[in-house]
Amino acid sequence: VVQKHDASHVHYDFRLEIAGVLKSWAVPKGPSLDPADKRLAMMVEDHPFDYRNFEGVIPAGEYGGGTVIVWDEGTYELSDAEDLTRKEQENILLQALQKGRLSFVMHGQKLQGEFTLMKMHGKGERTWLLVKKNDDFSSTEDITLNEKSVKTGKTIVDVAHENGVEVNHPEAHGLSAKRKPVTTKKTSTKKLLPEAADKKASEKPTVQGGSKSGMPQNVVPMLATLVNEPFDDEKWIFEIKWDGYRAVAYCNGKDVQLVSRNLKPFTDKYAPVAKALQDLKLKAVFDGEIVAVDEYGLANFQLLQNWKNTPSRLQFFVFDILWLNGKDVTSLPLIERKALLQQVLPSDHEVIKYSDHVAGKGKDFFKVALDQGLEGIMAKKANSIYQIDTRTEDWVKIKVNQRQEVVIAGYTQPRKTRKFFGSLLLGVYDGEELVYVGHTGSGFNTKTLEAIYNKLQPLVTNKSPFAKTPKTNMPATWVKPKLVCEIKFTEWTVDRMARHPIFMGLRVDKKAKDVTFEKATTMAKIKSAAKKGTTKKAAAKKSAAKPRQKRTASKAKTSGKKLDVDKDADQVITLDG
């Protein structure tokens, strides 16, 4: 069965009965009959077999809230299933599911012929592709234009109206009228915002609060504290932790400057982002992350290293605003800044993206991030002010994998047929001393080996930069500790060595001296310190504006939105099914 689902984004729930349950994938753009189309399919949780007949409205505020129709149904069989019993087919399907590739023949009312579901390796356990095989049923016709339910002949709009509600996305169903949101008892930031379809980036929003100020310069952005596990808290909001380069954007109409977190120029290096901001003609200062997304819409940090020579495109995910139209807004609560940000940014831009959030449910959000192979999540107090050049406990980060920025202090001689170098020798600063934390020879290809080797040659020195020179398994060449890279690894050993480190890419936005051993704390310790009054209360001395009177969390309403697979797979994370 395939159910069309108008949730926080319109998508198609592709379900196959296997072992008595419906194995399910959310397909943002819907199935295609064209073998040239590789449709992203995010695996979601199994659904009960009886759910195949559901057609109706899931109330807003509940899991998957929105309208559902049975878009297609029928039977399917394993490819080359002649003379196999149902039980034998099921066993083969389960094995194929484990291996990450299953091919099957569909006998639906709309979908017919052979299809393949294949897992995308390196993109997390839940990221798959749905592809049509070239056969007698393949076609370039857009089958999703056939919008009616095969059970009732009704459209999503028909079913919504029968149940006394409006669809969430009228534009996706050929409607131009504004929708009437189905509200729950929870208050969302929608009260603070106009409908996305009505706003334009060029409109000048009204800034409530803040203080008059010239545009700030040389902003060192606010940083987060690492914690060891996710948590639920209604006073906090949760965002995707984007896997890219942090950047502050200074927008003064057509004059736009992009600057890294350590004040290096990014404008020319990431010109498509700067050009996109210029076209918006805004007067604002944004904080966000520049990422490179692949052909499937997934952020890939390694592509960012050499984005011009890869099949990727740049996007700028904006998660905060510091200044707007002559007013410093750093003293406003975060939830108000995000509402303002959503009002300022265009709703459907190819490059400039609003970084959305969920409220309260950090554990569920983290689980989805884990399943979909994301770097991690950010948690932020909904009423937090923006503290420039401060690492604060009002913002915390929870990582899926262990990640650490490290200083490159040398490299070893390559073995056998390998060229340029064997492993990079890595360290972090402990006070003024550079401490060895291990070596990595994984995560490179021939091009990156050569590129890094060339960058290291001007830095070669005769003296080890480490306080205590490590023993290496091959002759070492030492370099001045200037270059920073990022690694992922399984765990820290008791003697502070990174186990199984893998090179992820260079960090041109980080200073070597700022790279220290990042140890995770716990939310229990943070809350305990806050109760004792020992938590830092940096009152934004380095911010241009005086903070307003502190607001309670009950006045700073957090967004009730759920991030879902969107039609362009820009924020590929879903809490719906």
| DSSP conformation letters of 232-245 | EEEEEEEEE--SSE
SS3 209: coil
Global confidence as pTM:
0.52
Which residues, 6 or more positions from 442, have their beta carbon under 8 angstroms from its beta carbon?
A: 501, 502, 503
Alpha-carbon gap, residue 421 to 449, rounded angstroms: 7
**Distance (Å, rounded) from C-alpha 489 to C-alpha 240?**
20
Burial 547-556 (b: 16+ CB within 10 A, else e): beeeeebeeb
Q: Determine which helix (DSSP H) or strand (DSSP E) holds 97, and give its type and residue range.
A: helix 86-99
Q: Kindly report the backbone phi and psi dihedral angles of residue 367, in degrees, each rounded to the nearest multiple of 5, phi listed first.
A: -60, -40
Q: In whole angstroms, what separates CA 226 from the centre of its chain?
A: 18
Residue appearing with tokens 């009960």: 48
What are residue 3's DSSP bridge partners?
A: 13, 70
Local structure of 336: helix, strand or coil = helix
φ, ψ at 43 (rounded to 5°): -65, 130
Q: Which of 572, 375, 372, 398 is nearest to 486 (CA)?
A: 375
pLDDT at 378: 94
**Is-catalytic flag, 562?**
no
- The three-state secondary structure class of 135 is coil
Residue 432's H or E segment, with its range, is none
CB contact at 8 A, 167 and 179: yes
- C-alpha dist (Å) from residue 510 to 263, 270, 547: 9, 17, 29
Asked if 41 contacts 117 with a C-beta cutoff of 8 angstroms, the reply is: yes
DSSP 50: G
Residue entry with tokens 């967004």: 559
Helix (H) or strand (E) holding 278: helix 271-280
Give the integer Cα–Cα distance in Å for 67 and 381: 32
CA separation (Å) from 123 to 233, 297, 379, 446, 572? 29, 11, 23, 22, 11
The one catalytic residue in 4, 119, 241, 353 is 241
Q: What three-state secondary structure class fits 353?
A: strand
From first to last of its 577 residues, what are the pLDDT tens digits of the chain? 999 998 877 899 999 999 888 999 999 889 999 999 999 998 888 888 888 889 988 876 566 778 999 999 999 988 877 677 788 888 888 888 988 999 999 999 999 999 999 998 777 778 899 999 998 899 998 999 999 999 999 999 888 888 888 887 775 665 433 333 333 233 232 322 233 334 445 456 667 777 888 999 999 999 999 887 899 999 999 999 998 999 999 999 999 999 999 899 999 999 999 999 999 999 999 999 999 987 666 777 878 877 887 777 899 999 999 999 999 999 999 999 999 999 999 988 989 999 999 999 999 898 888 767 677 899 999 999 999 999 989 999 998 777 889 999 999 999 878 889 999 999 999 999 999 999 998 888 888 899 999 999 999 999 999 999 999 989 999 999 999 999 988 778 878 898 888 898 899 888 999 999 876 666 666 666 666 654 444 444 444 444 433 333 333 333 434 444 333 334 444 444 4
Nearest-angstrom CA–CA distance, 84 and 104: 13
pLDDT computed for residue 492 by the predictor: 81
Residue 488: the pLDDT is 85
Delineate the domains of the chain, giving CATH numbers in brackets.
Answer: 2-173 (no CATH), 218-388 (3.30.470.30), 402-514 (2.40.50.140)
- What is the helix (H) or strand (E) element at residue 511, kind and residue range? none
**pLDDT value of residue 530:** 63
What is the model's pLDDT at position 493?
Answer: 82
CA distances from 88 to 82, 92, 102, 114, 136 (A): 11, 6, 14, 19, 27
Q: Supply the pLDDT for residue 47.
A: 86
Cα(52)–Cα(54) distance, rounded to whole angstroms? 6
Instruction: Say if residues 460 and 453 touch (Cβ distance below 8 Å).
Output: no
Note the residue count of the chain: 577
